[in-house]
């Protein structure tokens, strides 16, 4: 799978191996290709989606496409990255616009619900997310491998803040709590089926938060 880094005096992103994708996603600067990819992948599964159709719709020639991307999966990962960045920016804006809860478990519930609400605002994001739930293990593994640390720093900061306020049971180290929560949240999609309704998804998320709180929250809170 191709990766990028910033190279050259013109600071453009050039295709090189090996490097770190976090240093540059070319799709961030290719709006037509991004829109075409989002249209295609939100309407069809990964295997059904046509790379040729995406390239044609974006008005690119194959030479230029393969200069920046190695294959369809490469484009798919870059698209997921751009969607995720947009989602993160939305979360940050929501935190500034509304009073962020002091309680850690309310924070997690708010972020989980905000994620679903954000997806519902843009039908293609929602369709893409639901399709990803139904994708093959190979596609899911490719996505999780591409973003092993996504959201980890933000969640770690929330855990540390809650720990300092005494919101967790005594005897649990912050790192342990962070690891347990991270494992549960990373695998939350396994509890959400592709045919579940929005209400069922929200109920499942709420149940997960209740379980987290019951197992780690300080009892006298």
101 vs 195: CA distance, rounded Å? 31
What value, to the nearest 5°, has the Cα angle with vertex 82 and ends 81 and 84? Answer: 65
Over the chain, what is the mean pLDDT? 78
Across residues 173-184, what is the average pLDDT? 80
Please give the residue that has the higher pLDDT: either 1 or 126: 126
For residue 69, what is the DSSP state? -
Across residues 49-56, what is the average pLDDT? 98
Q: At 61, is the pLDDT very low, low, confident or very high (cuts 50, 70, 90)?
A: very high
pLDDT digits over 97-117, tens only? Answer: 667 788 888 888 877 777 767
Residue 150 pLDDT greater than 70, yes or no: no
Across residues 192-221, what is the average pLDDT? 79
- Give the number of C-alpha atoms closer than 13 A to the C-alpha of residue 95, restricted to the C-beta side: 16
Q: At 22, is the pLDDT very low, low, confident or very high (cuts 50, 70, 90)?
A: very low
139 vs 66: CA distance, rounded Å? 21
DSSP run (H or E) holding 5: strand 3-6
Residue 158 pLDDT greater than 60, yes or no: yes
Please report the domains of the chain, with CATH numbers, ordered by start residue.
3-216 (1.10.357.10)
Collapsing DSSP to helix, strand or coil, 97 comes out as: helix
Percent of the chain with pLDDT over 70: 76
Q: At 57, is the pLDDT very low, low, confident or very high (cuts 50, 70, 90)?
A: very high
Q: At 88, is the pLDDT very low, low, confident or very high (cuts 50, 70, 90)?
A: confident
Res 108: pLDDT: 81
Backbone Cα Rg of the chain: 19
Res 187: pLDDT: 63
Res 34: pLDDT: 97
């Amino acid at each position: 799978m191709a990766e990028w880094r910033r190279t050259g005096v013109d600071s453009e992103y050039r295709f090189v191996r090996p490097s770190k994708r976090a240093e540059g996603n070319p799709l961030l600067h290719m709006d037509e290709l991004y829109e075409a990819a989002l249209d295609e992948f939100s309407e069809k599964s990964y295997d059904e989606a046509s790379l040729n159709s995406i390239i044609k719709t974006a008005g690119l020639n194959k030479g230029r496409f393969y200069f920046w991307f190695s294959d369809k999966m490469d484009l798919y990962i870059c698209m997921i990255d751009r969607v995720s960045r947009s989602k993160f920016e939305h979360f940050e804006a929501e935190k500034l616009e509304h009073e962020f809860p002091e309680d850690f478990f309310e924070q997690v519930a708010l972020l989980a619900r905000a994620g679903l609400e954000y997806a519902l605002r843009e039908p293609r994001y929602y369709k893409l997310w639901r399709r990803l739930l139904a994708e093959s293990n190979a596609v899911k593994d490719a996505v999780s491998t591409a973003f092993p640390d996504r959201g980890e720093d933000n969640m770690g900061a929330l855990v540390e803040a809650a720990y300092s306020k005494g919101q967790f049971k005594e005897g649990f180290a912050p790192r342990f709590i962070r690891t347990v929560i991270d494992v549960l949240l990373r695998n939350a999609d396994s509890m959400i089926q592709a045919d579940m309704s929005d209400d069922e998804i929200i109920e499942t998320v709420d149940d997960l938060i209740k379980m987290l709180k019951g197992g780690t929250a300080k009892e006298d809170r």
